Chains A and B, each alone.
Chain A
Amino acid sequence: MNIIKLNYTDKETAIADLIAKGVYVEVENIDKEIVLSYGKGIHAIVEIGKIVLENGTYDADFKELTAPVYADGYAYDVMSDTVIDFGANEIFPKNSKHGFAGCEPIKEIKDDINTTR
């Protein structure tokens, strides 16, 4: 299973690229509306949106005093059966703000090798 972290300039650009790559497909639903559905082999598309780098400050009623600081761009996570080349839109954050349940990041294993096998 491939978990791909993506960042685009904005939401519209992201959706256009996801459609172009077959991650999203446009289908007509039962009510004859065109809606976005997952493409073949796509298990999940998660709209992360703007990533908060620094939290805002708020008063006791959570009225915003200073706005949060956001990273540039608009983020998505995709879970796919296959490898998809997203070019420069694929990112590799060290401290991910989002994960999939039970899908831990791959860790380097050095000391737990079973030498008897």
Chain B
Amino acid sequence: MTHMFPRWTNHLPTAVAVGVPLLGVAVVLGVYYFFSPYYTDVGYEPTQPVPYSHALHAGEMGMDCRYCHNTVEYAAHAAVPPTSTCLNCHKYVKANSEKLSLVRQSGETGEPIPWVKIHQLPDYAYFNHSAHVGAGVGCVSCHGRVDQMEEVWLHEPLSMGWCLDCHRNPEPHLRPVSEVTNMAYDPVAAGYDPSEDPNRTREVNPPVHCAGCHR
């Protein structure tokens, strides 16, 4: 009786037995990493219509975040500033700069500057800045060292799992409310203990149920 299959096929079952699970693991790990926002979203750095440098304004010159994002302490949105905020200074500083032509144009016509959104949550997730700032979560926790970014890029994945990591265990991410906009502050190095902070009137108790963020 002749062999119906060539000899090398004898190794096939072994190869399949070893290869398929390996492949499966590879696919799972691949999807887990490459399809996750850690890979797809972090580092997203679109080109903005105006080459505004956070490194210069917030870093070098040390402007407080709240000078421009002034609604952050009492509203859900840390609103992108209106053109008039830019022009408060740039009426006088670099008033003729080529890079600022769109800003001047917007100030004259009233047409908004079309900034590109970087920190984007799905429409069914309702994030509130004031709640986080009020609890002493620093800007840097979610946005990274914006004061060192020439053009802002997405520093954290902003995925639900990433949110929940902190909501389940907020303490390491808390700092005194006065240090919220201090990009260089490190609560661990400073030895900050929220339970000892006399300015805290209540325990931080972030929601971990669905309706905390979805409604």
| Chain A bound to chain B | no
A-side residues, CB < 8 A to B, are none
